[in-house]
C-alpha cells in the first residue's frame, strides 16, 4: 500500500500497535479490516477502513450500524497537522478541522458529535509542501520516538474505553512530556 507508513496513516499505525499489544489478527470484512477483543469487561472492535482515507466515513458508519454501537461509544483516530509531533488531543465532538477523513465521517453520520483522537504529526514543511509532508514517510528522528508516541495514544484510548472520555481528556490532553 502506497501510504502505509506515512504520517497520514498514523490511525492505522495506532490500530496495528494496539492489535499487536493484545495479540490480535485483523480479518477482512465489508469496507474494513477488523479485530475484536475484550478489555476488562468492555468489548472493543478495531476497524481499519479499506475505503480510501477520504471516504472512511462509509466504513465507520457501516460498522457502527452493523455492530449497533452508538457513535458516542466510538472513536476515530486521525493525523493532525496543528499538533506537535506525538501530542494527542481527544475530543467528543467538533469540526473536521479540514481533515478529509473526518469530513467524510461527519457527512455519513450527519453530525460532528462523535469522539476523535487526533495524533499530532507536526507541521514541519515549507510553504506549498503540506500534501508531500502529510503523505510522506516518517523522518529518521520521528521513527525513533514513534513507538513511544503510539503507545501513549493506546493508553489514552484504553482510558477512554475503561474510564470514559472526560477523565481521558483531562489526563491525556496535555502537552507531551
Bridge partners for 80 per DSSP: 120
* Rounded Cα gap, residues 87 and 176, in angstroms: 5
Task: Answer yes or no: 8 catalytic.
Answer: yes
Sheet with 32-39, strands from edge to edge, namely: 27-29, 32-39, 42-49
CA distance 124 to 69: 37
The C-alpha R_g of the chain, in whole angstroms, comes to 15
C-alpha to C-alpha distances, 66 to 59, 102, 170, nearest whole angstrom = 10, 20, 31
Helix (H, G, I), strand (E, B) or coil at 61: helix
Q: Of 72, 22, 64, which Cα lies nearest the Cα of 47? A: 64
- Helices 140-163 & 10-21, crossing angle to 10 degrees? 60
Which among 8, 73, 107, 126 is annotated as catalytic? 8
Catalytic positions are 8
Amino acid at each position: 500500500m502506497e501510504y502505509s507508513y506515512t504520517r497520514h496513516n498514523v490511525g492505522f499505525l495506532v490500530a496495528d500497535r494496539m492489535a499487536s499489544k493484545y495479540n490480535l489478527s485483523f480479518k477482512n470484512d465489508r469496507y474494513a479490516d477488523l479485530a475484536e477483543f475484550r478489555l476488562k469487561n468492555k468489548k472493543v472492535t478495531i476497524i481499519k477502513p479499506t475505503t480510501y482515507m477520504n471516504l472512511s466515513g462509509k466504513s465507520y458508519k457501516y460498522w457502527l450500524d452493523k455492530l449497533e454501537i452508538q457513535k458516542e461509544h466510538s472513536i476515530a483516530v486521525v493525523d493532525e497537522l496543528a499538533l506537535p509531533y506525538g501530542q494527542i488531543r481527544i475530543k467528543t465532538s467538533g469540526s473536521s478541522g479540514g481533515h478529509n477523513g473526518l469530513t467524510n465521517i461527519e457527512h455519513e453520520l450527519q453530525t460532528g458529535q462523535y469522539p476523535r483522537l487526533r495524533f499530532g504529526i507536526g507541521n514541519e514543511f515549507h510553504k506549498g509542501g503540506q500534501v508531500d509532508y502529510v503523505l510522506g514517510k516518517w523522518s529518521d528522528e520521528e521513527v525513533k520516538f514513534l513507538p513511544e508516541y503510539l503507545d501513549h495514544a493506546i493508553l489514552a484510548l484504553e482510558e477512554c474505553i475503561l474510564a470514559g472520555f472526560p477523565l481521558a481528556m483531562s489526563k491525556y490532553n496535555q502537552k507531551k512530556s
